[in-house]
Amino acid sequence: MNKPTPSYCARVARVLAKTYPAAKCELDYRTPLQLLVAVILSAQCTDKRVNMVVPGLFKKYPDARHFSEVSQEDLEREIRSTGFYRNKAKNIRLCCQAIEERFGGRVPDTMEELLTLDGVGRKTANVILNVAFGKNEGVCVDTHVLRLSGRLGLSRETTPEGVERDLMKLFPRNQWGDITTWLIWHGRRRCNARKPDCAACELKPSCPSAGKFA
């Protein structure tokens, strides 16, 4: 695989932007805290399932204080259908306790502070910073971004950390949040894991993996 050129990366961004002009985070939320909880719940779970759970959850627990005070057992019961519910409930409660005690009930808006919260790694922090606060501190590398970065020849790396470093070098900072969203949308709608639709893919003319999955 040749190193991607600036013109190739610009073409990828241009095509994805044209294909998905309305692309945005597909989790339902109204506040930074709600987004944070939704992102924690989305681990190993579809956004569709999370969006079925959060309306009632956010009505019952509208802020960090309410989430920090709910019992482990009650929260587990509320989020059971999202999978890995014991660990998610623990992280949400501890995370919200820290937000309430150390940040006055408000989700912090820096990478350094977000990474001190339970259940928050770089991927989650990047989502919160970009989507909730409009800050581009990095590229969120989920399973879709990881998969498409390899298929599109954007990175040889196999870890989220390595792929993030490559994407941050290839795309201008003001596109870091956008490239995340575009790749996620393309991964869900066209370039899925098992049977990508190469024949109809908008990136087919320049994609180094086009036709390999026929």
Burial of 22 (0-12, 13-18, 19+ CB in 10 A): exposed
Query: From residue 145, how far is each of 42, 96, 179 by CA, in Å?
Result: 15, 28, 9
Per-residue pLDDT band at 214 (split at 50, 70, 90): low
Q: What is the pLDDT of residues 132-164, one digit of tens each?
A: 999 999 999 999 999 999 999 999 999 999 999
Per-residue pLDDT band at 1 (split at 50, 70, 90): low
Q: 6-23+138-200 and 32-133 share one CATH topology? A: no
CATH top-level class for 32-133? mainly alpha
- The residue behind tokens 């937000």 is 99
% of the chain beyond a pLDDT of 90: 96
Confirm whether pTM is higher than 0.85.
yes
Q: Which residues are catalytic?
A: 123, 142
Mean pLDDT on 34-62: 97
Mean pLDDT on 96-121: 97
Please, what is the average pLDDT of the chain?
96
pLDDT of residue 180: 96
Query: Quick one: fold of 6-23+138-200?
Result: Endonuclease Iii, domain 2 (1.10.1670)
Task: Judge whether residue 86 has pLDDT over 70.
Answer: yes
pLDDT of residue 2: 77
Domain boundaries along the sequence of the chain: 6-23+138-200, 32-133
